[in-house]
Homo-oligomer: A and B are copies of this chain.
């Protein structure tokens, strides 16, 4: 099972591709960020992000997308951009009939470190240890994307999501 984790953002959108299965040690296929410049008009940032995430999708062909669920702790301005970035990642999943699942930051932290209140540094350190890397992936958004992908693999909620996606695709065809 190959999962693409996405830590949504407009300035830096973390992306990671991880392979594994529930309970087993996962392996890192690729990790990085898609960046868009704050100097560009907002709509062109969205377009650039869509192009960048589509390139990732097409290069690695994940079987599922694990995206961070947007939460209230962000201020309104960042909620808008983060929601839109998450929406673009979801659109890419839907377009390719690839299951999409959202995970909250605390679900990812708890899955990776055992504590839902771990800080970013602890998460990054555990990600490195789990994957057998010499150092955590950088920047932090990239490490968060890895954590989301591992969370998805280890939580194993994938079969149910496949059934849901298949049903949705069927509904979409008849509508």
Contacts and interface: CB of A to CB of B under 8 A. Distances in A.
Interface of A: 40-44, 46-48, 50, 70-72, 76, 79-80, 83-84, 86-88, 90-91, 93-95, 100, 164-165, 168-169, 171-172, 175
Contact of A94 (B44, B71, B100, B164): B44
6 contacts: A41-B165, A46-B91, A72-B76, A83-B84, A84-B90, A88-B91
Contacts of A76: 70-72, 79
A168 B90 contact: no
B83 A47 contact: no
Given A41-B168, A76-B79, A47 B94 contact: yes
A44 B46 CA distance: 19
Given A41-B165, A100-B41, A172-B44, A83 B87 contact: yes
B165 A94 contact: no
Mostly helix, strand, loop or mixed at chain A's interface?
helix
Nearest to A75: B72
Contacts of A40: 168, 171-172
Given A46-B87, A83-B83, 9 more contacts: A41-B164, A41-B165, A42-B100, A43-B93, A47-B95, A48-B172, A80-B86, A87-B87, A88-B91
A39 to B, nearest CB: 8
Contacts of A88: 87, 91
A43 B100 contact: yes
A72 B40 CA distance: 24
